[in-house]
Amino acid sequence: MELSMLLEPQGVKVVSDVTSKKRLLQSLADVAEGLLDVSASEIFEALQERESLGPTGVGHGVALPHARLSALTKITGVFFRLERPVNFDSADRQPVDLVFALFAPADTGVDHLKALARVSRTLRDAELCEKLRANSDPMTLHTLLTGGAESQAA
């Protein structure tokens, strides 16, 4: 499963106003609401519920929050590059600044796990993470993540 199938350009943001994990999850829910046609409160609740099972901060400044929502028909991602890292209760105790959230239909089964594995593999690439951290343009971030060769008009 390619990231270009999961991540739309409008789902990529550079965020400067979050100061806590809770506020980060709310911001993810707010952006996802516009992409998923599901209320931000329902998305936020699903993200919180998943986090209560164990933090999704995977280390090296990366978090992969995810949730299943019954109203969805396809897996969709939202990516944030945070200008100021926040504590995310990660395994390595490092704050996160790269956040890729996945939202999947409740009955996706193995496809959700495949998508999560694909995102995880992508964000384990130290060189890619360095490029993501060095860019503030959402379209550039989208292109880096999806490997897109889309030409960007100036």
Catalytic-residue membership of 66: yes
User: What pLDDT, in 10s, does the model give residues 41-69?
Assistant: 999 999 999 999 988 999 999 999 999 99
95 located within any domain = yes
Buried b / exposed e across 119-154, counting CB within 10 Å, b at 16+? beebbeeeeebeebeeeeebebbbbbbbeeeeeeee
152 located within any domain = no
- CA atoms within 13 A of residue 132's CA, in its CB half-sphere: 30
Q: What is the CATH number of the domain that holds 12?
A: 3.40.930.10
32 located within any domain = yes
User: What pLDDT, in 10s, does the model give residues 82-128?
Assistant: 999 999 988 899 999 999 999 999 988 889 899 999 999 999 999 99
* Choice among 60, 66, 112, 142 that is catalytic: 66
60 located within any domain = yes
Token pair for 25:
């999850």
DSSP string, 87-109: ----TT---EEEEEEEEEETT-T
DSSP 8-state secondary structure symbol assigned to residue 3: G
37 located within any domain = yes
20 located within any domain = yes
Cite the beta strand spans of the chain per DSSP E: 7-15, 57-59, 62-63, 66-69, 76-86, 96-105
145 located within any domain = no
pLDDT at 151 over 70: no
Range of the domain at 79: 3-138
148 located within any domain = no
The number of folded domains in the chain is 1
